[in-house]
Amino acid sequence: MTPDVNVLVASFRPDHPHHPVARAWLDDAVLQAANGRASLMLLGIVVTGFLRITTHPKIFKETDSLQHVTDFVDSLLSCPSVQFQTQGATWPNLRQVCLTQQVSGNLVTDAWIAATVMQSGETLCTFDRDFSRLLPSAQLLLLKP
């Protein structure tokens, strides 16, 4: 499994409206990974987005400290079988998703995430319904708020 930015943000911030759903999913995903029943992969671009959003004063009135945010990521990565993937989609895969789905603007980052998920064989967990046009249903878990 691979969480999207919105799942990490919601699971991290108790004041987020989707916190209970996201935190329950993340806790279960970590447990599944620790028990060897599933993998949990954090994509570099997702972690970057998570850091950007949780520390941005225009998004949250009370931002989180960079130390607190990085500690959260470190705590996830310290769990057995949780991996950090710094590399992502190859250019041919990203190009194919972009051209096939005619993505532009804000969807380009989502296309990169989708191409990386397809390439890795993982499943993306997200609240973002845009991924339903970018990923096969077998590689997508849409959480309901």
CATH code 3.40.50.1010 for 2-142: yes
Annotated domain spans of the chain: 2-142
Query: Given a cut of 80, is residue 87 above it in pLDDT?
Result: no
Contact in structure between 97 and 116 (CB atoms under 8 Å) = no
- At 89-144, the pLDDT tens digits run 788 888 999 899 998 888 889 999 999 999 999 999 999 999 999 999 999 999 99
pLDDT at residue 83, rounded to an integer: 92
Amino acid identity, residue 52? R
- At 28-81, the pLDDT tens digits run 999 999 999 999 999 999 999 999 999 999 998 898 999 999 999 999 999 989
